[in-house]
Chain A
Amino acid sequence: MQADPILDVRNLRIGFPVDSTYSYVVDSVSFAVREAEVIGVLGESGAGKTLIAEAVMGLTKSPPARVDGSVLFRGQDVLKMDDAQLSALRGKELAMILQDPTSALNPVFRVGDQVAEPIQIHLGKDKKTAWQMAIDIFKNMVGIPSAEARVKDYPHQFSGGMKQRVVIGMGLSCRPLLLIADEPTCSLDVTIQAQILELIQGLVSELRTAVLYISNDLGVVSQMCQDIMILYAGTIVERGRVEYVLNAPQHPYTQGLIRSVPKLGVKRLEPIPGTIPTLGEYPEGCRFRPRCNLAMDRCACRPAPPLFRVSHQQEVACWKFEGALHG
């Protein structure tokens, strides 16, 4: 019997108004994250990765957006919470690391203040204790050299990699139950990326944090996650154990995505023709149909294909696999 999930997203739909109707940028997305589990979200830009992350954090502004479904965090629906409830949750039990550490930090405050702030607010510590804890986080948690001096510096005095360490320290300062990492190493060099990945991996396994790891890098996801979902135009097209999905992809989109990645010994890439549809342009039925070389008549009809289980490790949203395996 599996433990209750920390995050349980059910049938999440996020729509924006287009010509007197709503176009759903995220459509019927369901997934769960349990303690100490790292779930990867892989997709290209426009796939809705960040929108899902924002919805989980309760950041989607509605209106203009229309959000249906539920986002259960330890059984409570984030979408139904008021601002006070959300504020108590965010930064404490629910943390996020953003892609760009420069815009995630306030340029006019010392980094120590920014790391100490959530400790003061959520753990009720006084300023002096919070500062001491910030120094401790710098020194022992995220590994910033000469921590005592560095906490007094401003964000611009840090390199990109060091800034990301500060942001991670900020996110994990209150030992969250769920961490959302939105492409945290996207803007970093590979050697620094490796350091940051090592850091995040070490911390989340030590704290047993549940992680939703958003990325567009196959290698990063493969190293960081156990399970993965592939997102295309706001829908989950495939999901399962990371090594199965990336080595034996079943959905035509996942297959195309993996063929597009430059590999050793490959002379020519086989990109997927066309581009990802945007708001208001989604086709009826399967959203990948116009770019799919296996499309059938049925793919153009509603409803869109649900996720079919094809093996113990994989689920695929494609009519080809209807009735492939039950149970």
Chain B
Amino acid sequence: MDNAILRVVDLTKHFAVPVPFRLSDLFGKRQYKTLKAVDGVRFDVNARETLGLVGESGCGKTTIGRLILRAIDPTTGQILFQQRPIERLTGKELLDFRKHVQVVFQDPFLSLNPRMTVKRILGEPLRVHRIVSQEAMADKTVALLELVGMDPHLSSCYPYELSTGQRKRVAVARAIATNPTLLVADEAVSGLDVSVKAQILNLLSDLQETLGLTYLFISHDLAVVQFVCHKVAIMYLGKIVEFGPTKMIFENPLHPYTVALLKSIPKVRAIGEPPTPIHSPLRGEIPSPIDLPRGCRFQARCQKRMTICEESEPPMTEVNSEQRVSCFLYK
């Protein structure tokens, strides 16, 4: 049976970026180059599951999130939500889609209107999607705040009066107000303090349990991803380089990039373990997605580079029924 709630098929998103201005541009058309933010991505997310999208900044993970929210349209490819392609939705259907797919952003201060009270912030999705009647609004707001573990008395506060953790809870409460099916969490716990982060992570996993939510969890924090995600997609320069269940990826990473990424996390030394000089596993920086190298995108930084890597792009190979990797080492 097809259990996929979200299916992403060969998704690409290219942006046109103007080349730096030259005098000759005055007499001709402005020159543009193509930035391949997302370049042929496919994955499924099953109901009640959490998929983690992981990668360094600039790898295209946020662009995928925006495509799934239909904040932007793909260049090619398709996104199927509950078996229906989202690019054709209009009017009532689109409104219904927005009700089912909600988002939590990184910065709760920027994503909450500073001139609205908590009550109004939570009331807005309820009103737009006609979740409850006007009379039941106050009760529903209280119920939502209780659901995210907040004192309902705070409902007349403005965002600036709340702590970071509380603001985050309001952002989560607003997202779940419409009883969504899929929640896109874009760096939702990044930048939070350790103890607040733990509280929000517990909240997210409780809500998944009680409300049957599906999460697309976009993050660069591997420790968090390992904790919350069932499956992980590792991205590099617009492509997924490795995909599989979290446990497999973290215990037996295959792609050289995944290996390096995991090795880069500083570990807590055990008692008796002498300090060793830090050795960073990856040299150089992520190249620009504008002028991509021929062949494998990772080759310039890869320690296992072969001749074939410079010539053609490695296809996605299934190593076993669950783990896929895009590298010639496993071809």
Contacts and interface: CB of A to CB of B under 8 A. Distances in A.
Interface of A: 44-45, 159-162, 189-195, 197-198, 201-202, 216-220, 222-224, 226, 242-244, 246-248, 256-257, 259-264, 266, 268-272, 275-276
B285 interface: yes
Best-buried of A161, A192, A256 by chain B (most CB within 10 Å): A192
A160 B196 CA distance: 26
Interface in B193-248: 193-199, 201-202, 205, 220, 222-224, 226-228
Contact of B220 (A189, A218, A270): A189
15 contacts: A44-B194, A159-B285, A161-B285, A191-B260, A191-B264, A194-B264, A198-B279, A202-B277, A222-B266, A224-B278, A242-B269, A243-B273, A247-B271, A261-B223, A264-B226
Contact of A271 (B195, B272, B275, B280): B195
Contacts of B194: 44, 216, 257, 260-261
B280 A197 contact: yes
Interface in B248-269: 250, 260-261, 263-269
Instruction: In the A-B complex, list the 7 residue pairs whose CB atoms are closest, starting with the nearest.
Output: A219-B266, A262-B227, A194-B280, A271-B198, A260-B198, A44-B193, A269-B198
Nearest to A225: B275
Contact of B261 (A45, A160, A191, A226): A191
Nearest to A44: B193
A262 B268 contact: no
A201 B198 contact: no
Contacts of A198: 277-280
User: Range of interface residues on chain B?
Assistant: 35 or more
Nearest to B280: A194
A219 B194 CA distance: 13
Given A194-B280, A198-B280, A271 B223 contact: no
B266 A197 contact: yes
Nearest to A260: B198
Contact of A247 (B165, B196, B222, B268): B268
Given A44-B194, A44-B196, A192-B285, 8 more contacts: A160-B57, A190-B265, A218-B268, A219-B265, A222-B268, A223-B266, A224-B278, A262-B226
A216 B193 contact: yes
B195 A190 contact: no
Nearest to A313: B271
Nearest to A218: B268
B307 interface: no
A244 B32 CA distance: 57
A271 B195 CA distance: 5
Contacts of A191: 56, 260-261, 264, 280-282
Contacts of A160: 57
B1 interface: no
B273 to A, nearest CB: 6
Contacts of B286: 189
Contacts of B250: 264
A194 B223 contact: no
A262 B269 CA distance: 16
Contact of A270 (B56, B198, B223, B285): B198
B264 A193 contact: yes
B26 interface: no
A224 B279 CA distance: 12
A221 to B, nearest CB: 8
Given A190-B220, A275-B165, A266 B227 contact: yes
Contacts of A44: 193-196
Interface in B272-327: 272-273, 275, 277-283, 285-286
Nearest to B227: A262
A198 B271 CA distance: 22
Contacts of B273: 243
A275 B281 contact: no
A162 B195 contact: no
Contacts of A159: 285
B202 A262 contact: no
A224 B266 CA distance: 9
Contacts of B268: 218-219, 222, 243, 246-247
A270 B198 CA distance: 7
Nearest to A161: B285
